[in-house]
């Protein structure tokens, strides 16, 4: 198998002599079965071999010990670059991702456990995610959000060699401060909520000696303090015009962008669409995976249907996967909501459209703006967007520009 990818005999000998040889063979077979390119195999396997040699020098004798050496290996790779300074923190994170990603994938394959199956703190707090599902009744989507947020926290305390039973307000403050450098004040509310729930559970299970949840304080925010970050119709057209629709990626992205613009769907809802959600004969679009278990049906707009059909016929990989939108590179699996939001940022940037916190919600807010401008009631707007509570739609009262202008310039009699 190695000879199929590596021409030089000394390279094959070096890989064959690695103490991880059997696991590497298994990893290559897995990459092949998931349609990874030969170039990807050639790039990842030597990295795994180098990591194996590095871990062996540090005393590793079993594959289960590999994760404990990964952080040190990343630092080692940085020193090999002779302390090269990264242009930005994003460039540093990308460098670390390109090292961590293949090694973590290799370890998951070698242990015959897919990456999705691992939960943060599963060894120290095995019952937490069952508690979220069974006692709190959280949905699978919300539990997945908890998993992602706690994975950040797990990595943070591991990098500082802090055990759960040694948590302190200082550690929590440091974690929140680090998050604040990456996300907005409004977005910080979610990880703070997750962390408070986790800390209360730790105290209930007597893993920590006192309830530290009160020390998790996010920045103060105010209801309706912001105007939704929408863009106008002209900017939407300009964004769509920069999509290269002759390419595989462009056909896919044009279809998902239209779904966001026309229906105001969330990124998760677009990523969750399946082939069965499109009723071509009835010209209907079913959106089943909405918040709070809602499901809605929309008339299928002709331009949306044509874009989706163009992608299905000319760009979508042949696979048994029922999700509509798939990755264009291996593994050929469904795109995530992060991918959907990232692609929106990409095209907004290419179109030169500046907007605070660009992402999929930019287009969702633009859809709401269009409905408000057409003088639909906030109740209709909320129903169209899939809001469960009317309070969620109140923010769009601030984008009724013409109505607000009349109030400001008039004598106020109509209001009174």
Closest CA to 366 of 344, 350, 343: 344
The 10 Å Cβ neighbour count of residue 323 is 15
CA distance 36 to 359: 29
User: In degrees, to the nearest 5, what angle opens at C-alpha 273 toward C-alphas 269 and 276?
Assistant: 145
Is the model more confident about 398 or about 124? 124
* pTM of the predicted protein model: 0.67
- Active-site residue set: 266, 291, 361, 364, 387, 396
pLDDT value for 117: 44
On the question of pLDDT at 122 being above 80, the answer is: yes
Residue-wise pLDDT tens digits, 381-406: 777 877 766 666 666 655 555 554 55
Which domains does the chain carry?
A: 2-115 (no CATH), 128-215 (1.10.150.130), 233-370 (1.10.443.10)
Which residues, 6 or more positions from 86, have their beta carbon under 8 angstroms from its beta carbon?
A: 92, 95
237: DSSP letter: H
Q: Which residue has the tokens 């030597």?
A: 46
Tokens of 20: 């991880």
How many CA within 13 A on the CB side of residue 266?
A: 14
Give mean pLDDT, residues 158-172: 91
On the question of pLDDT at 408 being above 60, the answer is: no
CA distance 330 to 210: 46
pLDDT value for 252: 96
């Amino acid at each position: 198998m190695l000879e199929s990818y590596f021409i030089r005999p000394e390279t094959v000998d070096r890989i064959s002599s690695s103490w991880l040889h059997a696991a590497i063979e298994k990893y290559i077979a897995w990459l092949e079965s998931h349609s990874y390119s030969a170039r990807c195999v050639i790039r990842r396997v030597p990295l795994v071999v180098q990591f194996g040699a590095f871990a062996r020098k540090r005393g590793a004798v079993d594959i289960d010990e590999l994760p404990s050496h990964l952080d040190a290996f990343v630092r080692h790779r940085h020193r090999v670059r002779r302390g090269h300074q990264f242009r930005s923190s994003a460039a540093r994170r990308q460098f670390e991702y390109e090292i961590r990603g293949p090694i973590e994938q290799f370890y998951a394959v070698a242990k015959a456990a897919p990456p999705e199956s691992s939960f943060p703190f599963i060894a120290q707090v095995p019952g937490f995610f069952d508690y979220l599902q069974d006692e709190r009744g959280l949905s699978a989507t919300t539990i997945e959000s908890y998993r992602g947020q706690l994975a950040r926290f797990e990595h943070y305390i591991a990098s500082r060699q802090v055990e759960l039973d040694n948590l302190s307000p200082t550690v929590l403050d440091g974690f929140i401060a680090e998050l604040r450098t990456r996300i907005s004040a409004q977005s910080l509310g979610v990880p703070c909520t997750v962390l408070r729930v986790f800390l209360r559970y730790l105290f209930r299970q007597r893993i920590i000696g006192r309830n530290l949840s009160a020390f998790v304080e996010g920045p103060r925010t105010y209801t309706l303090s912001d105007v939704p970050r929408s863009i106008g119709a002209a900017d939407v057209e300009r964004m769509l015009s920069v999509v290269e629709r002759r390419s595989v990626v462009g056909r896919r992205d044009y279809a998902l962008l239209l779904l966001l613009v026309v229906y105001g769907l969330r990124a998760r809802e677009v990523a969750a669409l399946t082939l069965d959600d499109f009723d071509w004969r009835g010209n209907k679009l079913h959106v089943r995976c909405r918040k709070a278990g809602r499901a809605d049906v929309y008339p299928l707009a002709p331009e949306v249907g044509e874009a989706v059909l163009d992608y299905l016929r000319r760009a979508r990989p042949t696979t048994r996967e029922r999700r509509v939108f798939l990755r264009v590179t291996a593994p050929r699996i469904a795109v995530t909501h992060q991918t959907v939001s990232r692609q929106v940022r990409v095209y907004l940037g290419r179109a030169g459209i500046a907007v605070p916190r660009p992402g999929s919600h930019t287009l969702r807010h633009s859809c709401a703006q269009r409905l408000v401008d057409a003088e639909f009631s906030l109740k209709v707007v909320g129903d169209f967007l899939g809001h469960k509570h009317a309070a969620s739609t109140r923010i769009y009262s601030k984008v009724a520009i013409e109505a607000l202008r009349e109030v400001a310039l008039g004598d106020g009699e109509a209001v009174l």
